[in-house]
Amino acid sequence: MQAPPPLPERMRTALSQRPAWHARLQLGVALRDGRSVLGRCEHHGPLRIQKVLYPEGPGLAQLLMLHPPSGIAGGDALEIGVHAESGACALLTTPGAGKWYKSAGRVARQSVRLRVDAGAALEWLPQEAIVFDRAEAEQVLHVDCHGSARCIGWDIAVLGRLGSDERFEHGRWQQRIDLCRDGERLWAERGRVDGGDPLLRSVVGWNGLHVCGLMWVIGMPDDEALLDACRAVPADGVRVGVTAPRDALLLVRVLGDSAERVRGCLGAIWALLRPAVLGRPAVPPRIWST
């Protein structure tokens, strides 16, 4: 792989001298008198909960998470922790796509840790993250469920900005995911994509596509008909794989050429799974359509 052409001196200086954001958000959702409430909300730096909504009634708190700078640049470090206490139900999403900006070699990091107590339910459904060319991005996600806890979540990454004729030719995107129940690791995943890697164009890799999505379900019922229904969801313009590698664990992978198609496919499968896993009808957050 050839070394990337150097950035213009003025741009390299501006990026290297840019002050880094270090932000932290710690949330706790508790059930009080039949209502899921945000009992703990501690923040440092530019991470906030924009609103707490109840479009499905008091039993489920819908949290809109906002990062005012709208993107993560080299040197930034974001830490997010969410604790759903016993009996509480919460859905977290974002009002728009996240962005990993280009850097002058400094690494940007985001760490997310989700804890779901027995009898609680948590949905982690952020909108997609766009990885700019020359970004140096590291993501860590750790999900820790206990007992009868249920968790549905997804992660969607867009490499490059093809609408601006920008491919992911330089930089690095790295991801680590751990899904656990009662201290046992159910699934561990480690991934790294370097800009311009031949794997991005290979038929045994990304096959020229640039958007990937992973959905997980912890607390999946033993239901072959439901699995078959997920596999039968129309996959227009995307490639889909649905697997159940462990008891009560489901993984869905989607690879496509647009964030809208990948998110649409995952959303259709989520609509099938949510009633069976959480006992709730599929009510998409209104922010997804604004």
What is the DSSP secondary-structure string of 237-283? TEEEEEEEEETTEEEEEEEES-HHHHHHHHHHHHHHHHHHHHSS---
- Report how far apart, in Å, the C-alpha atoms of 241 and of each of 22, 59, 150, 231, 250 are: 36, 32, 21, 7, 11
The length of the chain, given as a count of residues? 290
In a domain? residue 1: no
CA atoms within 13 A on the CB side of 243: 8
Closest CA to 255 of 205, 185, 194: 205
Assess if residue 74 is contained within a domain. Answer: yes
- 280 lies in some domain: yes
Residue 186 belongs to domain spanning: 25-289
- Domain assignment present for residue 11? The answer is no
DSSP secondary structure, 45-93, as one string: SS-EEEEEE-TT-TT-EEEEEE-TT-SB-TT-EEEEEEEE-TT-EEEEE
Question: Considering only CA atoms, which of 208, 197, 153 is closest in space to residue 173?
Answer: 197
Separation CA 153–CA 218 (nearest Å): 9
Instruction: Report the SS3 class of residue 216.
Output: strand
Helix (H) or strand (E) run with residue 13 in it = helix 9-17
Residue 2 lies in a domain: no
Domain count, the chain: 1
- Looking at residue 47, its amino acid is L
Predicted pLDDT of residue 236? 86
HSE at residue 68, side-chain half, CA atoms within 13 A, is: 13
pLDDT for the residue 2: 47
d(CA 287, CA 276): 24
Q: Is residue 56 in a domain?
A: yes
Quote the CA–CA distance of 127 and 187 in Å, as a whole number.
23
End-to-end CA distance of the chain: 41
Q: How many CB atoms lie within 10 A of CB 35?
A: 14
**Whole-angstrom Cα distance, residue 40 to residue 227?**
36
pLDDT along the chain (290 residues), means of 10: 52 54 95 97 93 97 88 94 98 95 92 98 97 96 98 97 91 97 96 94 93 98 96 92 96 96 97 97 91
Q: Is residue 7 part of a domain?
A: no
- Residue 20 domain-assigned (yes or no): no
**Residue 127, phi then psi, degrees to nearest 5:** -75, 170
Element containing residue 182 per DSSP (H, E):
none
248's tokens: 């009560």
